Amino acid sequence: MEEKTQELEARATLRYARISSRKVKIVADLIRGKKVDEAQKIVKFAPKASSEILEKLLNSAIANAENNHFMNRANLYVAEIYANQGPTLKRIRPAAKGSAVRIRKRTSHITIVLRESK
């Protein structure tokens, strides 16, 4: 019989980030499965709007792993990273001929899960 061992993981979540989840997923796909140090370098130099947000969230996940779960930073990797759509803020902007156009300001919920490689 195969025994399932509980694998230790550290996570960090940012909810209601004022950026579209579609924009976040571009950078998230770049760092998924990478070692933490490599992921930090990628996020730092990626010329995307979500890079700054993901850099802070990644640093938070690393701090959670080290301080709360006593994991070794050298063995950490990005096991999961996903960005789901949050609530959309609806705003109205005046348009031609007295009409109005709806502006959708999108938000997202971003989660990073780190695990230790063996």
2 within domain boundaries: no
- Residue 1 predicted with pLDDT over 70: no
Q: How many CA atoms lie within 13 A of 89 on its CB side?
A: 10
Question: Token pair for residue 76?
Answer: 């950490």
Which secondary structure element, helix H or strand E, spans residue 44, and what is its range? helix 36-45
Closest CA to 116 of 44, 56, 47, 36: 36
1 within domain boundaries: no
Banded pLDDT at 117 (limits 50, 70, 90): confident
Question: Token pair for residue 74?
Answer: 């050298």
DSSP states of 61-72 as a string?
A: HHHHHHHTS---
Question: Token pair for residue 59?
Answer: 């640093």
4 within domain boundaries: no
70 within domain boundaries: yes
pLDDT value of residue 15: 97
pTM, to two decimals: 0.88
pLDDT value of residue 4: 56
- Residue 8 predicted with pLDDT over 90: no
pLDDT value of residue 3: 55
- Residue 82: which CATH number? 3.90.470.10
Structurally, how many domains does the chain consist of? 1
3 within domain boundaries: no
Average pLDDT over residues 21-43: 95
Distinct helix (H) and strand (E) counts, the chain: 3, 5
Its domain, for residue 17, covers: 9-116
For residue range 56-72, what is the model confidence (pLDDT) as tens digits? 999 999 999 999 999 99
